[in-house]
Amino acid sequence: MKFRSRGREEPEINLIPFIDVLLVVVIFLMLSTTYTKFSELQITLPTAEAQAKHDFPKEVLVAVSVDGRYSINGVAIPGKSVEDVAQALVKAAKAGTESVVIIHADANAVHQSVVIVMEAASRAGLSQLTFATQASGASATR
């Protein structure tokens, strides 16, 4: 009996399942990656590019000076305690708990002064807080 020797067939690698698995892994990595930028706390505040100021009746403007004095809607507050600021915020909030507290703190103000305003707003039931900044030097001249 004569057996024929078969010609050697080259193995074929199917790349389609491999590509599918790689695409799933790439999509998973793209969705699960957080894009954060770590720095060593080199902070320069408070300048920002901002829109023009609008006057809304729901706004309560709180100014904090360098020496820790407070003024709400242009009226100076005699005390510096959380209770004094909270009482003044309740009186100035015309829209009730829907009012937005805008904190205008001096760049050199003590951090505790700003925290007192935030605590007073919390005690007054005002949960919407925002911080005002001034325009940077380049855009202020425009």
**Residue whose tokens read 């707003």:** 121
What CA–CA distance (Å, rounded) separates 99 from 127?
8
19-65: pLDDT as tens digits: 999 999 999 988 887 665 554 445 555 666 656 555 566 888 888 88
> In terms of C-beta distances under 8 Å and separation of at least 24 residues, what long-range contacts does 37-44 make, across chains too?
none
Structure token digits, residue 73: 């809607």
pLDDT tens-digit map of 82-130: 888 888 888 888 877 788 888 888 888 888 888 998 998 888 888 888 8
User: Is domain 59-133 in CATH 3.90.1300.10, yes or no?
Assistant: no
* pTM (predicted TM-score): 0.55
- Cβ(84)–Cβ(127) under 8 Å? no
**What does the alpha-carbon distance between residue 76 and residue 121 come to, in Å, rounded to a whole number?**
17
What is the domain partition of the chain in residue ranges? 59-133
- 25 or 137, higher pLDDT: 25
pLDDT for the residue 45? 57
